[in-house]
Amino acid sequence: MYSSLPDICAQLRQCGFRRLLVLSGENTWIEQQLTQIKAQLSGDWLTLSSHLSAAMLPEKAHLLLGREYTHAIFDARSGFHSEAFAILAGTLKAGSLLVVCTPPQEIWPQSEDADSVRWNEQLGIISTPNFIHHIQRIIKASPQTLIYQQGQEPQFALLTDCPTWQSPTGQPTQQQQFALNQMLSTTQSVEQKIWGIIAARGRGKSTVAGMLIQQWQGECWCCAPAKVATQVLEQYAGKSLTFWAPDTLLQYCQRGEQVSADWLIIDEAATIPTYILRQIITYFPRVLMTTTVDGYEGTGRGFINKFCVTLNHFTALTLNEPIRFARNDPLENWLNQALLLSEPPQQLPVDGNIQLEIISQSQLANNAERLSRFYGLLTSAHYRTSPLDLRRLLDAQNQYFSVACLMGDHYVSHQSERYVGALWMISEGKLDEALSWQIWAGLRRPRGNLVAQSLAAHSYFPSAAQMSSRRVMRIAVESAYRRKKIGFQLIELQKKQAQQQGLDYLSVSFGLTPELLAFWQAAGFGLVRIGSHKEASSGCFSAMAIMPISVEAQKLYSRADYLLQRDLFWRNDLNEFNLKSSQEQSLTTEDWMELIGFSQYSRPMAASSAAIQRLLMQDNLIKPPSAEHQCGSQSVLALYFRDGLSIAEICTQVGLAGQKQWIKQARLEVGLYIRYQQLELTAMIEQKFTISYP
């Protein structure tokens, strides 16, 4: 039976529900329907689209966190930005429709998806049939979803079971009051108190934080990724907030400025790099962090398991009763199924044999239970797992998967098996020689091939990008089954497959911590590169390691290990890792190649600094004429590396306009050494860029 959209929305307001409306057809028809729908229903009608006028771009959706709207449009005709879709759905209040615009359903799976450029590392824009078929299955399985396809009658029906909803009164719920009472009862103590509210969207996290600010007699500061995300918090606080951007607050505290706040409220905490969080919270006697279990902000259990458990005096608070809409909301239920946002329930450990298995992308894509188990294990182990990973897992090319299955009396078939370990890998390398050298020279940086390219672009090995390799994307083991070498066994299984397929090496990139370094070394990987600065997302130096398989890769690793030890001689920021360094600092062929790359091409200073410092310490080289390579009588390289002056100080001292002029002068200085020392090697490298291929 057909019902009008105004009647449907009236029912939704009565029930406290929200619903999904799928609008499928040609572009002109869709835009006509949108105009008519918006004319029938009053609301904010927030739109995310790369094409529709007056729309917000999907990549800007993070600015919507913490805000509320009535009705929204998500334009999926040219691509499906999964995180933006989840964020948009999370902003909608009871009584709202989320209208999703798609191409005609029969051609949607084969349509090019522009969003694939973000996560399909090597081959650009592709169609995404596995993800779209998954979405279509969830649409068809949901009788509560409204569907209108061009050329067909709209499937608009009222819900059959719609109890009356008591909307929030503005007073705290029982759960909210319990959380407030705990935090308000904290008295002055020598011990710092840290609280975390981990909940799904619409559960009133920001409301509780605002009430805490309103009821606390002292001073509270607020920190969030964007000020616009604190609107609800400010509403319930009943006053203007003292707001800080995370990096600005950290700089303020590090300068030793006065911290007068009794509380620091950190909203959307899982979106802030952990190294910033970890430092900020040390400056405050009481901290409240709120974050969402949904994967577009970071998964709640992973955030607790990987970050919060490392904090002293941490208390987790849970809110599971919806506030913005009623329990069993149709839109939330659909979204959790479509993007696998619900984290899997904790399971008790049971006895049984562990069986290792290599599975294909199609086996995951075509089996909803397998997909849910595999992806669920990732979300529980990695709090940065997001719907982008689901998209990559389902449709990106050259993905490889293996699992550790618990086989016992409780798990007698693949339909009931339990995954306790998962390994996800991606192919890299096989770039042609000319492209590899262009990457080495800093002239090209195509998408993908993270480790293979980095060994060419930031280390000494353009040959690494030409080899065939496979990189670890994610590895996860259920917490109750760790320390049983399941991760090592999964890696060994992939190593055997790589040997059979003639690969040169396996690789991994990870945030350098003593624990992770020990794990990867024990698994058979050897360090080949450590980044020069800490990554914003992890607060760690980026480390890369390989497991050589072929003879050529073993030679590469042996040389990389030797060269890394020489470079570590110049690093004083890695002492906690007890890494071996070498006192042997004479110039090698690789150093001269590095110096040529820096002076003649676009190799970055960070990659070349060790070689430059070795150059400066040599006394037996023919020096270029001082008038040609110095500003006045001073070498800009010597001032930087020997005297420890900043680039700004050097520019002031020698009369350069800024960093660009400084780096230009530095390249000129090194180039003059090259002109005197390495003409033949320079000519050989030049030939690498003129190689032609049939």
- With cut-offs at 50, 70 and 90, classify the pLDDT of residue 677: confident
| CATH code where residue 624 lies | 1.20.120.890
Whether residue 351 is found in the same domain as residue 409: yes
- With cut-offs at 50, 70 and 90, classify the pLDDT of residue 189: low
Please report the pLDDT score of residue 447 as a whole number. 86
Rg (CA), the chain: 29
Average pLDDT, the chain: 89
Kindly state whether residue 11 falls inside one of the protein's structural domains: yes
Q: What is the 3-state secondary structure (H, E, C) of 289-350?
A: EEEECCCCCCCHHHHHHHCHHHCCCEEEEECCCCCCCCCCCHHHHHHHHHCCCCCCCCCCCC
For residues 129 and 386, the model is more confident at 129
Please report the pLDDT score of residue 627 as a whole number. 36
Cα separation, 497 vs 357, in Å, equals 11
Number of domains the chain is built from: 4
Cα separation, 448 vs 547, in Å, equals 19
Please report the pLDDT score of residue 398 as a whole number. 93
Whether residue 282 is found in the same domain as residue 355: no
Least confident of 144-153, 259-268, 550-559: 259-268
Q: Which two tokens stand for residue 136?
A: 């279509």
Kindly state whether residue 506 falls inside one of the protein's structural domains: no
Kindly state whether residue 461 falls inside one of the protein's structural domains: no
Predicted confidence (pLDDT) at residue 516 exceeds the cutoff of 50: yes
Predicted confidence (pLDDT) at residue 205 exceeds the cutoff of 90: no
Residue given tokens 């320079």 in the structure block = 682
- With cut-offs at 50, 70 and 90, classify the pLDDT of residue 238: confident
Q: Any residues with CB less than 8 A from the CB of 673 and at least 6 apart, and which? A: 595, 599, 615, 621, 623, 624
Per residue in 8-63, pLDDT (tens digit) is 999 999 999 999 999 999 999 999 999 999 999 999 999 999 988 889 999 999 88
Kindly state whether residue 569 falls inside one of the protein's structural domains: no
Mean local confidence (pLDDT), 517-530: 97
Cα 285 off chain centre by? 30
Kindly state whether residue 489 falls inside one of the protein's structural domains: yes
Predicted confidence (pLDDT) at residue 674 exceeds the cutoff of 50: yes
Domain that holds residue 394: 347-425+473-494
Per residue in 465-487, pLDDT (tens digit) is 999 999 999 999 998 898 899 99
Predicted confidence (pLDDT) at residue 394 exceeds the cutoff of 50: yes
Predicted confidence (pLDDT) at residue 692 exceeds the cutoff of 50: no
Please report the pLDDT score of residue 286 as a whole number. 94
In percent, how much of the chain has pLDDT > 90? 67
Please report the pLDDT score of residue 409 as a whole number. 53
pTM of the predicted structure, to 2 decimals = 0.86
Last residue of a domain, one of 82, 116, 149: 149
Q: Which two tokens stand for residue 261?
A: 């706040």
Per residue in 319-374, pLDDT (tens digit) is 888 888 999 999 999 999 999 987 666 777 777 789 999 999 999 999 999 999 99
Report the candidate in 237, 238, 299, 302 with the shortest Cα–Cα distance to residue 263.
Answer: 237
Predicted confidence (pLDDT) at residue 377 exceeds the cutoff of 80: yes
State how far the alpha carbon of 531 is from the alpha carbons of 247, 305, 607, in Å.
21, 26, 9
CA atoms within 13 A on the CB side of 267: 32
DSSP output for 168-235: --SS--HHHHHHHHHHHT----SS-EEEEEEE-TTS-HHHHHHHHHHH-SS-EEEE-S-GGGGHHHHH
Name the residue type at position 366.
N
| CATH code where residue 415 lies | 3.40.630.30
In percent, how much of the chain has pLDDT > 70? 92
Whether residue 118 is found in the same domain as residue 18: yes
Whether residue 136 is found in the same domain as residue 10: yes
Q: What angle do CA 513, 515, 516 make, to 5 degrees?
A: 70
Please report the pLDDT score of residue 418 as a whole number. 87
- With cut-offs at 50, 70 and 90, classify the pLDDT of residue 297: very low
Report the candidate in 624, 620, 632, 602 with the shortest Cα–Cα distance to residue 670.
Answer: 624
Predicted confidence (pLDDT) at residue 637 exceeds the cutoff of 60: yes
Whether residue 133 is found in the same domain as residue 39: yes
Kindly state whether residue 375 falls inside one of the protein's structural domains: yes
Query: Do the Cβ atoms of 407 and 354 come closer than 8 Å?
Result: yes
Cα separation, 646 vs 656, in Å, equals 13
Please report the pLDDT score of residue 483 as a whole number. 87
Whether residue 9 is found in the same domain as residue 106: yes
Query: Do the Cβ atoms of 469 and 448 come closer than 8 Å?
Result: no
Cα separation, 357 vs 431, in Å, equals 30
Whether residue 16 is found in the same domain as residue 138: yes
CA atoms within 13 A on the CB side of 627: 0
